[in-house]
Structure 1
């Protein structure tokens, strides 16, 4: 029967999806969008994969040199295929795993350090179930009391380093406090950003790290040519953004934007009303005057979304904002303020290429056929039918 399903699948079914296309999960007319907003890192500026090993190595060395972690940690190198975005980390159990939208641990995905954890152990750790209670799960920004979700692209080297450090401690029988280890690794990764190491690497070699700069220039120029208003909200410092935008767009890049906000401190920018905007001069020095309007060509630091909305009156679905973090960049803006949002998801291109393969299409078609057979056969309760059902259910699970 599987061969029959295979033969019924026409060749043209494969490669139907364009990996370079823009996909919408809600109806939107770009004719109605008047204002376009952008994050900077991994949105306007796309970085090459060579950045992640350097973040990993720098944070690893910070752990050894400043946090006095064992020298043996230096033997670990960054493995780009180890983790993906969206994974959860249980701090108290040192488990990195995939949890679905219904708060169930996906069996076969749990790792402690670099070693997979048997399904039976995972179920035992959570009281005989795969389910994680809501109060333990991540909050709206991927942070919970004991479980953290890694959502941005910068999280990839963080997950890899966290797993490597746990692997070293477990492999050498060293006792450690899970919470302390998690915080130290997180702080080391943060130090790479706070101390400006990452900014220095990119600024020294734009050609090496920044991808598709010409495409960024083309998109921004086209929007402005069609009378759209643009704004930029980023956590990165102005000096870094300025160098990158000059590389991609040119020295007059600020003329394309109606508002530019740097060091915005997202996600609190979207929720904390207390932080006011401050103006920066060309040298990066802060002004002390009160901000009563946001002017084109000027640079502003920090602030908050509520003042931004009040000063610009850019509200509702006529605003479309692009970012790479599904929570702090996008979800809150859509749910609380009615902005339309666009997610920059580099991984989607690879996923679509997999979906377009003949092997994937055949597996998916057979899985759907198995589901139909199971629905028809489940009413039969004799021993032979139950045996067939069990075999089909096992095969469907393997296909998944």
Structure 2
């Protein structure tokens, strides 16, 4: 990400994620469903304490995007971009600054080796897991409750002397919930309710959104879909939010892509498979993709060969649009593709308006017209209750910006985007918007400032999150 400006008109190819990108979920409905599915599996399949089944809503204020769970200590951590602990909890109890310094030292530095691996690779490990997307975020609440349960059962009332070993059970239970075979079989706790009542969990695309998606192909862009959802679930979503003609919006569709591996794998390690009646054909490996088809699994290198053919260019310029920093944004650097990040937390936390200290850049700027907010449907007031956390604070910054010596390094009064996930945003994404609705009224050649300029904050459109405003 080197350019100072970003314009969709400059790209030959535009790729889209599906879940939480083209398909807007009603988060206040889907978060409790995901948690219930996970917790019930933990209790019934793994034999864990029934108190996990207490309503998710009781601890919804505890949930926030980006928490890191340290399996050894049982602590959940909100980290800075340089590995210091901005906030922490043990179980559901938020730790005081004094407790954090007692456990981690005056500088509040997390394990340097673990942090460096996380920052450089974004890989999950056996002794550390993080929660950065809407399908896994409720796992932070389950981890906190499990730590409370385990500590309570300790005879001396202290933490276990080894580590908190339930994480493998939790990840298996996620697997039970999201098993791709469950949708067709109408099994499990996650897919059947969504299958029966899509209107409860999804927002349909507006006519303006559908017209905008169509306009991309009309403007000569190659448009592809790449989703980790299996084909039958993806089809269910797309038929509901777009309509029966949904496939005509895309030149090719890649399903069950299992990102980020789709973007980092090779044709040998991550082949495409043919689909027949939405069933993956294990013996039918596809080596050459054809347009207007739907495929399963696969890799970006083989997809790129089709994109070259469709654009007539040896090195087509590609941008991918998605909501996951780990799966949709971070891998783009290795492909030399650009990324547009969908980040609902921007709107949930509030955007700087013309009446605030910093405006949204639209006053007197004909190239950056004020957005038409009346069309925005995300997130609504109910969803905001699930996206905001008074316990953890802003996704973008934390006031107690701790340096290595334990002192407050922010003496200027300017709010720095100092969280670990803020680092990933400004380092790997070109621009970030709360949702696609924020850009569909703009001309295709609109030029957005990117995160490469203005102290790595200019990439937010239509405005900075209020947490980053100058006080």
Paired with 1:219 and 1:141, the residues of 2 have a C-alpha distance of 33
Residue matched to 2:328: 329
Paired with 1:317 and 1:178, the residues of 2 have a C-alpha distance of 49
Residue matched to 2:450: none
Paired with 1:185 and 1:289, the residues of 2 have a C-alpha distance of 33
Does 1:90 pair with 2:83? no
SS of the residue corresponding to residue 213 of structure 1 reads coil
Once the two structures are superposed, the pairs formed by residues 1-400 of structure 1 within 5 Å of their partners are 26-49=4-27, 50-78=29-57, 79-106=59-86, 109-137=87-115, 138=118, 139-144=120-125, 146-173=127-154, 178-194=163-179, 195-196=182-183, 197-214=189-206, 216-273=209-266, 274-286=269-281, 288-313=283-308, 318-333=317-332, 335-353=333-351, 355-356=352-353, 371=411
From the superposition, tell whether residues 287 and 112 of structure 1 become closer, same or farther in structure 2 (CA, over 3 Å).
closer
SS of the residue corresponding to residue 155 of structure 1 reads coil
Deviations 1:229-259 (A, max 9, x none): 1111111111111111111222121122111
TM-score (norm 2): 0.66
Number of residue pairs aligned between Structure 1 and Structure 2: 342
Q: Say whether the 8 Å CA contact 2:287–2:302 is kept in structure 1.
A: no
Listed as ranges, the gaps of 5+ residues in structure 2 are 184-188, 359-409, 414-469
Once the two structures are TM-superposed, the CA of residue 127 in structure 1 deviates from its matched residue by 4.6
Q: Say whether the 8 Å CA contact 2:262–2:299 is kept in structure 1.
A: yes
Paired with 1:317 and 1:179, the residues of 2 have a C-alpha distance of 47
Listed as ranges, the gaps of 5+ residues in structure 1 are 1-23, 362-369, 374-398
Q: Say whether the 8 Å CA contact 1:85–1:152 is kept in structure 2.
A: yes
Once the two structures are TM-superposed, the CA of residue 290 in structure 1 deviates from its matched residue by 4.5
SS of the residue corresponding to residue 312 of structure 1 reads helix
From the superposition, tell whether residues 316 and 56 of structure 1 become closer, same or farther in structure 2 (CA, over 3 Å).
farther
Paired with 1:208 and 1:237, the residues of 2 have a C-alpha distance of 21
Once the two structures are TM-superposed, the CA of residue 62 in structure 1 deviates from its matched residue by 0.9
SS of the residue corresponding to residue 190 of structure 1 reads helix
Once the two structures are TM-superposed, the CA of residue 159 in structure 1 deviates from its matched residue by 0.9
Once the two structures are TM-superposed, the CA of residue 76 in structure 1 deviates from its matched residue by 4.7
TM-score (norm 1): 0.77
Paired with 2:164 and 2:32, the residues of 1 have a C-alpha distance of 24
Q: Say whether the 8 Å CA contact 1:281–1:299 is kept in structure 2.
A: no
Once the two structures are TM-superposed, the CA of residue 95 in structure 1 deviates from its matched residue by 0.8
Greater Cα radius of gyration, structure 1 or 2: 1
Q: Which moved more, 1:232-241 or 1:178-187?
A: 178-187
Q: Say whether the 8 Å CA contact 1:262–1:299 is kept in structure 2.
A: yes
SS of the residue corresponding to residue 89 of structure 1 reads strand
Paired with 1:229 and 1:291, the residues of 2 have a C-alpha distance of 21
Once the two structures are TM-superposed, the CA of residue 157 in structure 1 deviates from its matched residue by 1.1
Residue matched to 1:379: none
Paired with 1:317 and 1:82, the residues of 2 have a C-alpha distance of 44
Deviations 1:174-202 (A, max 9, x none): 78664421222232233211245433322
Deviations 1:286-334 (A, max 9, x none): 174452432223211111122222343277672111111112211221x
Paired with 1:271 and 1:372, the residues of 2 have a C-alpha distance of 41
Deviations 1:77-99 (A, max 9, x none): 34332121112111111111210
Q: Which moved more, 1:45-54 or 1:216-225?
A: 216-225
Paired with 1:360 and 1:172, the residues of 2 have a C-alpha distance of 51
Q: Say whether the 8 Å CA contact 2:231–2:278 is kept in structure 1.
A: no
Q: Say whether the 8 Å CA contact 2:76–2:90 is kept in structure 1.
A: yes
